[in-house]
Structure formats: structure tokens, C-alpha cells
Structure 1
């Protein structure tokens, strides 16, 4: 069974404390989906976790995932893949929801891999990073939101 591919990125403006996230998901059946969101008074780690949770919302339990994220976000997500001896206390609500979505608390454990992606080239990782930056700016102006990325924009993503 082929894994669903997921590119995720987060952005954060420490001066204004707003942040954004975005993901592009390519299913094994060829369907492509993307969403972006953001919030005020947040952290980059929280945005990375919120983005992953949003990406998992409508996936069937147990479906395998291949996740690619920029290094700062991959370091946050790695704590879900291989939990440290002392779990991070921050963002406990998102971490609990992700543990459930990833199957860590149920018998149908989801298998997933995590890789560091370089958002510098014309790749789905760069596309997600650009949308995360845009989402961060939008959250600064208007507060919390989640929107789908338009299909015509997703059709232009190189490397899917």
C-alpha cells in the first residue's frame, strides 16, 4: 500500500506573535488537497502541530503517511514520532489530539515517516512554506482562520 505524501510547513513572526501553517497532501489515489491556517499569540511549534492535525482530519485510520517538513518543523514533529523521556509540556492539547489521530492510543497505529525538506527549490515543501508565510500575515490582520488552498494553485505545484 502506497503512503499518502504530506508536505507541511509553519511560519511565525516573533515580533507580533502571529503564526501560520500550511500543508499539501497527495493521496495514494492521486487526489491532492491543501489547507492553510493561522492564529495570533502563538508559537511556531504550535503552528506545526496544528498543521499536522489539520492534515490528518479526514484521513482514514491506519493509512500510512510520508511527511516532509522544513527542519524547524520536523524537529517539533519528531517528538511525536519518537517521544522523548520527558514529553514537552507545551501544547498538550494538540499533542493529545495528534496522539489519537496517529493511533498511538488505539490498536490501529498509523505508520508514518518524517523527512526534512528543503523549502528553497520549486517543490511542494516550498509551496507549503509560502502559504504558511501568507497564513501568518493573514492571522496577524484577522485572527484565527483555516482555508482550503484553491485547486488551481495546487495544480501548479511542481513535484507532486
Structure 2
């Protein structure tokens, strides 16, 4: 049986400043990994793309993935990817290609989640906001420390 990875991915975007941040938590069993990052001038879709590509990076081939998110731009990605043949993206083409390659042949579900307190979604949202704030002045990327991930509320 293929491994099943769970990913909680959130983004935060400031329309006026066009700065955005993303954060994810990735779990396989009890092992947790997480990162956050942000860009100074980007659309919400680009932030979602970067976050998802980062979250999928390094997963073994054939693994199943469940992506949980409360962010509309994240949940819209599979629909947009499915339309790519008829309506190819004109922006962030390289990121779309990376996402397509990362998802090819990989059973993936996108699961809407509520941003309830003390959940992995709320944890990721807080890190995405921090990343967006740091990205106002320069690009940002950092691993989320394991001690923090232990408090993310990831269900067993």
C-alpha cells in the first residue's frame, strides 16, 4: 500500500500591498514537517501555487496525498489545473508545470477544512500571516521548528 501524506496548507494575502504568505504542515503517521514563506508582489493564486509545490516537494512517487485547506485559492487549484488544456495559464507557467508534474499519477484529494481554533488549519494560517508580514520587505522562507509543530493540533 502506498504511503498517505496529509497536508494542511493555508495562505494569507494582503490585497493593497500584494504581499502574500503560505504555510504548510505535512504529516506521514506521527512524523511532522512544516515550512512557511512569502513573496512581496504576488497574487493569491501564485501564493497558493508556491505553497502547494513546496508542500509536495520531496514526496515519494506513488504516495497518496490529502490536502486540507480553508483558503479558496488553494481549493481552486485542482479545478484550474483541470482546465489547463482548454485554458492554459498565462502567468506562473513554470509553477503550474511543477504542480502538474508533482500531482501526475498521484491520488490527491483537496478537502475543505474549517479554520477552527487549535487545529492544524489555524496553526498554518497563523504562520502564513507571519510569512506575509515578513514578506512585505523581502522574500521569506523558513522551516517551522519541530517544537512548534508539536503544538499544531495534528490528529493522530
- TM-score with structure 2 setting the length: 0.90
Moved more, 87-96 or 147-156: 87-96
Query: CA separation in 2, counterparts of 1:100 and 1:157?
Result: 29
Written as runs of structure 1 = structure 2, the 5 A alignment for 1:79-158 is 79=79, 82-83=82-83, 85-103=86-104, 109-141=105-137, 143-158=138-153
Query: CA separation in 2, counterparts of 1:83 and 1:121?
Result: 34
Q: Which residue of 1 aligns with 2:16?
A: 15
Counting matched residue pairs gives 153
Q: Which residue of 1 aligns with 2:7?
A: 6
Query: CA separation in 1, counterparts of 2:109 and 2:4?
Result: 9
Structure 1 runs (4+) greater than 4 angstroms displaced = none
Written as runs of structure 1 = structure 2, the 5 A alignment for 1:47-62 is 47-62=47-62
* RMSD of aligned Cα (Å): 1.7
Going from structure 1 to structure 2, the CA distance change for 1:76 and 1:87 (only over 3 Å counts) comes to farther
Going from structure 1 to structure 2, the CA distance change for 1:110 and 1:81 (only over 3 Å counts) comes to farther
Query: CA separation in 2, counterparts of 1:19 and 1:74?
Result: 13
Give yes or no for contact 1:24–1:35 (8 Å, CA) kept in 2. yes
Deviations 1:51-83 (A, max 9, x none): 010011111122110011114133332225643
- TM-score with structure 1 setting the length: 0.88
Give yes or no for contact 2:10–2:69 (8 Å, CA) kept in 1. yes
